Amino acid sequence: MDAESGADPVRAPRILLGVSGGIAAYKAAELVRALVREGAEVQCILTRRAEQFVTPLALATLSGRPVARTEFGDEPAPTILHIDLVRWADALVVAPATGNVLARFARGLADDLLSTVYLAFDGPVVVAPAMNPRMWDHEETRENVARLGRRGVTVVPPGEGFLACGDEGAGRLVPLEEIVAEALAAARRSSSLDGMHVVVSAGPTYEPIDPARFVGNRSSGRMGFAIAAAARARGAQVTLVHGPVALAPPWGVETVPVRTAGEMRAAMRQAARAARVVVMAAAVADHRPAAAAERKISRREPYTLDLVPNPDILAELTAARRAGQVIVGFAAETHDVVERAQAKKKRKGCDLLLANDVSTPGSGFEAEDNRVTLIDERGRAEPWPLMSKRQVAERLLDRVERLLARGEGP
Ligand code: CTP
C-alpha cells in the first residue's frame, strides 16, 4: 500500500466500459485500445443496439476479456453478473452514451445489463454523450444531464461539428484522449481514500423549548450527505453524524442520528478520535433555550425565551486535533462573505473552510446547488462557480487529499 494516498500503486485501474447504440459506438474499439495502452484493465458492456455498430468480438479481442451483454451472461453461471462486475470495477465509463442511456440512468431504470450495473455501482461514473444536436439540446436530455451531474456523475459534454446524420452542432463524441483522461482520473479517485476514516456532520440541530417546540434552522443536510457519499465512493470508511433531516442515508455509510447540539458534540468527539478527516458541515444551532420546559407552554402564559450559547464543536475538535488529521469547517454568511469566512477559519483553527452565501437564491440552505468560496490552508479565498452539492463535495475532497498527501499520516 502507498502510505501517503492509501492507494495500491501496483494494481492496474479497472474500468467498466459501457458502449451504447449510437453511430459513435464504432469508436469504442479505438477507446479500448487507448485505455489498455494507458495500463488499464477494461471490461466492456455492450447494449443490444450497440452491437449493430461494433462487434463483441472486436471489443473482446482488444480488451482481452469476453464482452458482457446481458444480465444473465451468455452461459448459465452460479454468480450474479452485474454484482461481480461492480465489485471488480474502479470506475464505470459510458462512451458513447445515447440520449436513451442518459434517460434510463437519470430515472434509475434497470432494464438491461448496463443500466442495472449503473444502479448497483457506487463508485465514480463518467458518461460521454453523443447524439444528434436536437436530441442533445432537448429539455429532457438537459434535465437528465443535470440530474446525473447532481448525483456526482462526470458528464463529458459532446463537441461541436458535422455529425454522421448530416446535421451540424453539439453532439459529437469528444476526442478519445479526453475520455481516457476522465476515465483514469475517476478510477484513481475510487480508491484515493481507501480505508481512511472520514467523519462528516450534517443537517441542523433542534434545541427543545418544550416537548412540542424547538429552536432550529433551515439546513437540509444535503451538503454533508453529498460529502459522505463522495468520500464513500473514494473508498473511505465514513461516519455521518446528522441532525433531523429528510434524506435517505448514503449507501455504505455509518450514520449516527442526533437531535441537539449537545448530542452532536458528544457523537463528533467520539467519532473524531479515530478519524483522519473531519468535516463539520452541520448547521449547529448557535443558541439553545436555557432550560426546556417539561410541559407544553400555553399561549395564555406570558413567556420569554432565554437562550444560552452552544459550545463551538468545530473549535473543540481542532483544539483536540491528532497529528495528520485534516479538519474542514463551513461558514454560513449573509454579508462580507470572504472577510468573515477568513476570520472564522482563523478563529476556529480548521485547515480548509467552505463559505456559503446563504442569502443567494438557488444556493446554500435547502438548495440542490451551491456557490461557495474556499478559504484554503493559507487563508486565501478561492471562489468556486455554482455547481451541484455533489460536485462541491468532489472538489473539496480533492483539496483534502492534497493536504493528506503533504501530512505525515496517522
Ligand atoms: N459550528 C460548530 N459548533 C457551533 C456552531 C458552529 O461546530 N456551535 C461549526 C459549523 O458546523 C461550521 C462552522 O462552525 O463548520 C461555522 O458555522 P457558522 O454558523 O457559520 O459560524 P458560527 O460559529 O455560528 O459564527 P457566527 O455566528 O459568528 O457566524
pLDDT digits (tens, 9 = 90+) for 226-245: 999 999 988 899 999 999 99
Give the architecture-level CATH label for domain 197-406.
Answer: 3-Layer(aba) Sandwich (3.40)
**Atom of ligand 1 at shortest distance to CA of 314?**
7
How does DSSP assign 228-289, residue by residue? HHHHHHTT-EEEEEE-S---PPPTT-EEEE--SHHHHHHHHHHHHTT-SEEEE--B--SEEE
**Which runs of E-coded beta strand occur in 53-165?**
91-97, 125-129, 154-155, 159-162
How does DSSP assign 43-83, residue by residue? EEEE-TTGGGTS-HHHHHHHHTSPPB-STT-SS--SS-HHH
- 229 Cα to the center of ligand 1, angstroms: 23
**Atom of ligand 1 at shortest distance to CA of 331?**
20
| Protein residue closest via CA to atom 20 of ligand 1 | 331
Is residue 65 within 8 A of residue 46, CB to CB? The reply is no
Q: Which residue has the higher pLDDT, 81 or 322?
A: 322
160-193 burial, b at 16+ Cβ within 10 Å, e below that, comes to eeebeeeeeeebbbbebeebbebbbbbbbbbbbb
Is residue 74 within 8 A of residue 106, CB to CB? The reply is no
| Protein residue closest via CA to atom 28 of ligand 1 | 344
Q: According to the model, what pLDDT value does residue 261 have?
A: 98
**Atom of ligand 1 at shortest distance to CA of 313?**
7
3-state secondary structure of 388: strand
Residue 133 has pLDDT above 90, yes or no: yes
Residue 8 has pLDDT above 90, yes or no: no
Q: Which of 65-74, 138-147, 227-236 has the lowest mean pLDDT?
A: 65-74
AA letter at 295: R
Is residue 31 within 8 A of residue 180, CB to CB? The reply is yes
Is residue 174 within 8 A of residue 157, CB to CB? The reply is yes
What is the Cα Rg of the chain in Å? 24
Give the pLDDT mean for 276-284. 98
Res. 6 pLDDT band, cuts 50 70 90: very low
Q: According to the model, what pLDDT value does residue 78 have?
A: 66
Is residue 233 within 8 A of residue 399, CB to CB? The reply is no
Q: According to the model, what pLDDT value does residue 171 have?
A: 92
Please say if 165 is a catalytic residue: yes
- 331 Cα to the center of ligand 1, angstroms: 6
Q: According to the model, what pLDDT value does residue 363 have?
A: 67
Res. 161 pLDDT band, cuts 50 70 90: confident
Are 14-189 and 197-406 equal in CATH topology? yes
Q: Distance between CA 190 and CA 232 in Å, rounded?
A: 9
Is residue 79 within 8 A of residue 222, CB to CB? The reply is no
Q: Which of 133-142, 159-168, 273-282 has the lowest mean pLDDT?
A: 159-168
> What's the distance, Cα to Cα, between the start and end of the chain in Å?
14
Res. 66 pLDDT band, cuts 50 70 90: very high
In Å, how far are 26, 94, 114, 277 from 99, measured between CA atoms? 17, 12, 14, 39
Mean of pLDDT over the chain: 92
Q: Which residues line ligand 1 (CB under 6 A)?
A: 261, 280, 282, 284, 286, 310, 312-314, 329-332, 344, 348
Q: Which of 165, 181, 307, 315 is catalytic?
A: 165
AA letter at 316: E
Give the pLDDT mean for 119-134. 94
Residue 2 has pLDDT above 60, yes or no: no
AA letter at 14: R
CB atoms within 10 A of CB 143: 13
- 332 Cα to the center of ligand 1, angstroms: 8
Domain ranges of the chain: 14-189, 197-406
- 285 Cα to the center of ligand 1, angstroms: 8
pLDDT digits (tens, 9 = 90+) for 337-374: 999 999 999 999 999 999 998 887 776 777 778 889 99
Q: Which pTM was predicted?
A: 0.83
Of 215, 313, 314, 357, best ligand 1 pocket probe by most atoms within 8 Å of the beta carbon: 314
Burial of 139 (0-12, 13-18, 19+ CB in 10 A): exposed
| Protein residue closest via CA to atom 9 of ligand 1 | 314
Q: According to the model, what pLDDT value does residue 379 have?
A: 97
Does the domain spanning 14-189 belong to CATH 3.40.50.150?
no
**Atom of ligand 1 at shortest distance to CA of 282?**
11
Res. 5 pLDDT band, cuts 50 70 90: very low
